Amino acid sequence: MRARAALGRAYARAWERGRPRSARATPWLPPEPASRRYGLDRGVPIDRVYIERFLERHAADLRGRGVEIYEPTYLERFGACERVDVLDADPDAGRATIRGDLSALPEASFDCFVLTQTLSLVEDPVAALRDAHRALRPGGVLLATVPGISQIWPPDAFPDLWRFTAEGLRRAAAHAFAQPEVAAHGNVRAAAAFLYGLAAHELAPEDLARDDEAYPLVVTLRAVRR
């Protein structure tokens, strides 16, 4: 028994000297975020970096007649549409050309549809994706993004209902589209910084350059109506 106890103590001392640096002390994490509004009050939110990279990569899809939710920010920034519509359920929305939810979109009318960070706010994302498919002309493209790892939108704003994995979004989109293209973006450092409400400029460029599918900050979807 004494020999076993001595062996145990020797092992403990060896572990104390040689254990990985990450195991020697618990990292200190602030108890409160720097921002509860996704970092909007500090600068450009980190998730916007991934959203805008995705849209820029597929800018060639943004042609013809396009539609975007709330305001045509990305269609005007990345697209070259001949006509732009804005969908908004708010009766007082000044830039809206179509009022209502996604079911209000006219059938087979659009060549492209930009749908960013919206499916997490609708009660039935599969039905919304079917409405998006119905609204596109044959060959029309949906470019959508959804939140993965994220805080909850302030409760006084919109009802925040869902978070997505890449596989979850792929399965949801497959109810409406053939061969949806889905990808996860982000990594553990970017996700942690986003949860704490830091802005994009507070991270180094290399912190935002690498994607790790285990830590999806933003999940993207490109889908074509065949």
Alpha-carbon distance 86 to 192, whole Å?
33
Domain ranges of the chain: 33-224
Which pLDDT score is estimated for 6? 64
Which pLDDT score is estimated for 198? 97
CB 125 within 8 A of CB 180: no
Strand partners of residue 143: 114, 222
Q: What is the mean pLDDT of each run of 10 residues along the chain (226 residues)?
A: 63 60 70 94 97 98 97 97 96 91 97 97 97 98 98 80 97 98 98 97 96 97 97
Which pLDDT score is estimated for 11? 62
Alpha-carbon distance 28 to 14, whole Å?
25
Which pLDDT score is estimated for 92? 87
Which pLDDT score is estimated for 17? 62
CB 164 within 8 A of CB 147: yes
Which pLDDT score is estimated for 59? 98
Which pLDDT score is estimated for 80? 96
First CA to last CA distance, the chain? 74
Which pLDDT score is estimated for 28? 82
Which pLDDT score is estimated for 55? 98
Amino acid at 105: L
pTM for the whole structure: 0.87
Starting at the edge strand found earlier in the chain, the sheet holding 98-99 runs: 98-99, 80-88, 63-69, 110-116, 136-147, 218-224, 181-185
Superfamily of domain 33-224: Vaccinia Virus protein VP39 (3.40.50.150)
